[in-house]
Structure formats: structure tokens, C-alpha cells
Structure 1
Amino acid sequence: MPKLKTLLAPPLPAIVALGLLLAGVMQAAHAQGLPTFEVVAKDGRLTPETIEVPAGKRIKLTIKNEGRGPIEFENLDLRVEKVLAPGASSFVVTPPLRPGAHTFIDEFHPETGKMQLIAK
């Protein structure tokens, strides 16, 4: 009788890969219905510098790196972080935002790469 380990070994990586793919697809599908705002990073600057967003709601930020170097877009309080190579685009989804200002930075350019979400 074949060992269980031998029977599971070949399909296990495929099962894990399928699970990861489905998780990513589900997250992307869920993010489609969220209020969406665009942020552009270019040469150490984040544009726009201020975005008004609804308080108490999750939001989706699409990020485009149009600069010549990598960026690390983040807000540690919200546990949001995304690293993008030059020319890359991606998105992050925030947790529901408390009213007030939430500062995001480009960790590679912390002095000039700043923007604020103003949740109202």
C-alpha cells in the first residue's frame, strides 16, 4: 500500500499555489467595491500631498511609481506597506479610518515623500 506522504507529495505544491492564487483573487475582488484614490510617486515625491477620504470606511489606494528608483509606501499605524520597483503599480487597502489625518511616507525619501489622508 502506498504511503500517504508519497500520495500527497506531488499535488501539495499545486494545492498551496492554488490557495494563494484564490486568496489574492478574493482580496482583489473585495477591493473593487471600495472608494479608490490614486497616488503617484515620482523622484522622492508623493502626489497628491493631501486626499480627503470618508471616515469609518476602508479605502483602496492605487500607487504608481513613475520615478527612477524604488519606493516603500507605508503607514505603520495602519499596518500598510508596499514596495514598488520603478514603473510598477499596485494597490493597498486600509482598515476603516478614524476621523483625522493619516500620514503616509515613502520610506526611501522620508523628508520629501509624504502625503496625508484626511478622513472626514
Structure 2
Amino acid sequence: MTPPFYSRNAARFRTLLSASAAALLALSGAGIGTATVQASEEHEVEISIKNHMFEPEALKLPVGKPIKITVKNLDPTPEEFESDDLGFEKIIPGNTTAIVRLKPLKPGTYMFFGEFNMDTALGHIVAE
């Protein structure tokens, strides 16, 4: 015969496990839904590096949305896509493509440059 103490605690343990599993399932489902919504709100833009210059050299981007910048380096040499204003730097080998993601921007103008060719690889972002 099982002691009454064991039966009560076993029942409480099963209830706690069921509640924990339900909470975990709910949280994981919420996370998946959030990731889907955020990805669909991401603003995507492309920029190229050719002859050590950015094309286009000016990007007009929306305020308040995450940004995905696809950078195509069409030159055979590497370039470092960098912005002190936005706090990023990314080396992009020659003839390759890289992605830079930015948090939502506030209104303003943000400078970027190619560190390996600073005389020619210059550009800016206007967020409005």
C-alpha cells in the first residue's frame, strides 16, 4: 500500500510537470510567431562596390524598421564596409556578397565608407 504522503506529492508533481510543459509550449510558440513577424517587417536593400565606389552612394531607408543590406563586392579585391555612425564594419572579399543587418534607425543621415579605399568608397544613408 502507498503511503498517503507519497500519493499527494506524486499528484502535485504531475500537475506541476503538466503546467510547466504547457507554459514551455506556449512560450516557444510565441517566439516562433514573433520571429516570423519581425522577418516580414525587415526592410531589404542592395548596394554594390564597383571600381572601389559604392553604387548607389546614397540609400534612403525607412525609420523604425530593421534593415538588411546586401552588399555585393564586384571588385576582385576586398573592401571593408564600415560606418562609425552606425557602429558596424564588415570585410567583404572580392567577388563575394555579404549581409549587414541594422537595428531600426532614427531619423537622420549616417555616413558609411570602404576603409580600404576611403578616397573613393564613400556613401551615406538618409533615414526618414
Displacement of 1:72 in angstroms is 0.1
Equivalent residue runs for 1:55-74 within 5 Å: 55-74=63-82
List gaps (5 residues or longer) in structure 1: 1-28
Larger Cα Rg: Structure 1 or Structure 2? 2
* Partners of 1:70 and 1:46 in 2: CA distance: 13
Displacement of 1:92 in angstroms is 0.5
* Partners of 1:88 and 1:32 in 2: CA distance: 24
Bigger fraction of residues in helix: 2
Match of 1:100 among 75, 100, 108: 108
* Partners of 2:51 and 2:43 in 1: CA distance: 27
* Partners of 2:69 and 2:110 in 1: CA distance: 13
List gaps (5 residues or longer) in structure 2: 1-34
Displacement of 1:32 in angstroms is 4.7
Whether the 8 Å contact between 1:42 and 1:68 is mirrored in structure 2 is no
Whether the 8 Å contact between 1:43 and 1:69 is mirrored in structure 2 is no
Alignment match, 1:80: 88
TM normalised by structure 1 equals 0.70
Q: Give structure 1 regions of 4+ aligned residues with deviation exceeding 6 angstroms.
A: none
CA RMSD across the alignment: 1.7
Displacement of 1:79 in angstroms is 1.7
Displacement of 1:56 in angstroms is 2.2
* Partners of 2:92 and 2:76 in 1: CA distance: 11
Alignment match, 1:20: none
- Percent identical across equivalent pairs? 34
Match of 1:110 among 105, 108, 118: 118
Equivalent residue runs for 1:5-20 within 5 Å: none
Match of 1:53 among 53, 58, 61: 61
